[in-house]
Amino acid sequence: MKLIVAVDKKWGIGKNNGLLFDLKLDMKHFVEHTRGKVVVMGANTLKSLPNGMPLKNRTNIVLNPDGDIFDAIDKGYVLTTSLDELLEQIYAVEDNEVYVIGGAMMYHTLLPYCDTAYITKVDSDGEATVFFDDLDSLDNWSCVDEGEAIEDNGHTIRFCTYTNASPVEFKSTIDKKKGLTFEDCIDKFNARKK
Ligand SMILES: NC(=O)c1ccc[n+]([C@@H]2O[C@H](COP(=O)([O-])OP(=O)(O)OC[C@H]3O[C@@H](n4cnc5c(N)ncnc54)[C@H](OP(=O)(O)O)[C@@H]3O)[C@@H](O)[C@H]2O)c1
């Protein structure tokens, strides 16, 4: 599983349940990575999207303990109401097809399970109120590619890639907790749709 995020110079990612910057090139980069893939997000991030709608051309999985299944069916996203349930859904998909796309709580919760993080570093202070973990301070994460500085709507940005030397095997986490098989997950998913 991978994650993709834009951070400011303090690893800030958002304020007032919105993004810090309006970055055209970064948005293009985000779409290129996630088009046709599975994206995983928290309830606040879904709320922050235009009209609270999931992203087009992607399978959207949302974690919301207070979620409404009718809203999910109406808008066309997969609702999960606990971390276990979310991990089961991810388990049913190819690892490299899944991108965690925010927000702060969701990134923090799923960071140990990710093997790769695509970090857009914005060389500005967006006066954020919510933050991403500082990957430079974590032993198991290292920056393997630091892109060249480019201008994006008045900000200097770099597309960077970090990798995790010891991602948690979430499949074995599920197996240990519940003994679920892939078929169990599919059955559970289909049962929820009925
Ligand atoms: N810069 C970027 O690239 C980027 C990308 C996406 C989002 N953002 C920003 O991030 C901000 C939103 O982040 P956020 O942290 O407020 O919200 P969030 O992560 O989008 O959603 C939080 C939701 O996820 C649930 N959740 C998270 N971890 C959980 C766990 N372990 N078990 C059960 N439920 C869990 C929370 O449950 P509870 O209700 O029980 O707490 C809550 O409903 C916004 O400002 C948004 O614009 C920035």
Shortest-distance atom of ligand 1 to CA 120: 3
Profile the chain (194 residues) by mean pLDDT over runs of 10 residues.
Answer: 98 98 98 97 97 96 96 95 92 86 97 97 98 97 98 98 92 58 59 59
Task: Report the pLDDT value the prediction gives residue 189, as an integer from 0 to 100.
Answer: 58
Shortest-distance atom of ligand 1 to CA 83: 32
User: CB under 8 Å to 164, separation ≥6 — which residues?
Assistant: 112, 114, 115, 116, 117, 140, 141
d(CA 108, CA 26): 21
For ligand 1, atom 47, which residue shows the shortest CA distance?
18
Q: Is 87 helix (H, G, I), strand (E, B) or coil?
A: helix
The residues facing 130 across adjacent strands are: 14
The residues facing 99 across adjacent strands are: 2, 39
Q: How far is the CA of 64 from the centre of ligand 1 (A)?
A: 9
Shortest-distance atom of ligand 1 to CA 47: 20
Task: Report the pLDDT value the prediction gives residue 193, as an integer from 0 to 100.
Answer: 55
Cis peptide before 67 (omega within 30 of 0): no
The residues facing 155 across adjacent strands are: 152
Predicted structure pTM score: 0.90
For ligand 1, atom 32, which residue shows the shortest CA distance?
83
Q: Is 94 helix (H, G, I), strand (E, B) or coil?
A: coil
Shortest-distance atom of ligand 1 to CA 19: 47
For ligand 1, atom 30, which residue shows the shortest CA distance?
83
Report strand pairing: 78-80 vs 116-122. unpaired
Question: For 56, how many CA atoms within 13 A lie in the half-sphere containing its CB?
Answer: 2
Task: Report the pLDDT value the prediction gives residue 93, as an integer from 0 to 100.
Answer: 85
Q: What is the pLDDT of residues 29-81, one digit of tens each?
A: 999 999 999 999 999 999 999 999 999 999 999 999 999 999 999 999 999 99
Task: Report the pLDDT value the prediction gives residue 94, as an integer from 0 to 100.
Answer: 77
d(CA 188, CA 194): 10
Task: Report the pLDDT value the prediction gives residue 174, as an integer from 0 to 100.
Answer: 64
Residues recorded for the chain? 194
Residues with CB under 6 A from ligand 1: 5-6, 13-14, 17-19, 41-45, 48, 63-66, 82-83, 101-106, 109, 130
Q: How far is the CA of 86 from the centre of ligand 1 (A)?
A: 14
Task: Report the pLDDT value the prediction gives residue 92, as an integer from 0 to 100.
Answer: 85
Q: How far is the CA of 102 from the centre of ligand 1 (A)?
A: 6
For ligand 1, atom 10, which residue shows the shortest CA distance?
103
Residue in the structure block whose two tokens are 């030397």: 165
Q: Which two tokens stand for residue 1?
A: 């599983």
Closest CA to 132 of 39, 57, 20: 20
Question: Domain 2-193 sits in which CATH superfamily?
Answer: Dihydrofolate Reductase, subunit A (3.40.430.10)
